[in-house]
């Protein structure tokens, strides 16, 4: 699976692959492989990038054209309900 939006988002923010690789704690080569689809991103990495760019994971993976992130749940509030 090629995540074209990874490259688009990176370029729109004038970032280098090396910077995002450091953010994800991977090598630049690994990050490059994410952009080309030679390597799959972990859910944790997708979450980090979605938070960083303030977009939804669905937007990153191409399931929607709406970049608006979903509202975050309040972990403390949800823990009290359970």
Which one has a higher pLDDT value, 75 or 7?
A: 7
What's the mean pLDDT when you consider all of the chain? Answer: 87
User: CATH code at 46?
Assistant: 1.10.260.40
Task: Please state, in angstroms and as integers, the Cα–Cα distance from residue 15 to each residue in 22, 29, 64, following that order.
Answer: 12, 15, 23
Average pLDDT on 2-23 reads 93
How many domains, in total, are found in the chain?
A: 1
pLDDT of 27 strictly over 90: yes
What number of other Cβ atoms are within 10 A of residue 57's Cβ?
Answer: 17
Domain coverage including residue 67:
4-80
CA distance 12 to 26: 21
pLDDT for 54 equals 95
CA atoms within 13 A on the CB side of 69: 13
């Amino acid at each position: 699976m090629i995540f074209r939006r990874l490259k688009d988002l990176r370029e729109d923010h004038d970032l280098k692959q090396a910077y995002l690789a450091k953010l994800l704690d991977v090598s630049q080569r690994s990050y490059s492989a994410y952009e080309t689809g030679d390597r799959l991103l972990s859910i944790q990495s997708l979450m980090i990038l979605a938070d960083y760019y303030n977009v939804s994971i669905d937007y990153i993976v191409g399931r929607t054209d709406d970049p608006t992130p979903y509202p975050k749940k309040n972990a403390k509030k949800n823990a009290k309900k359970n």
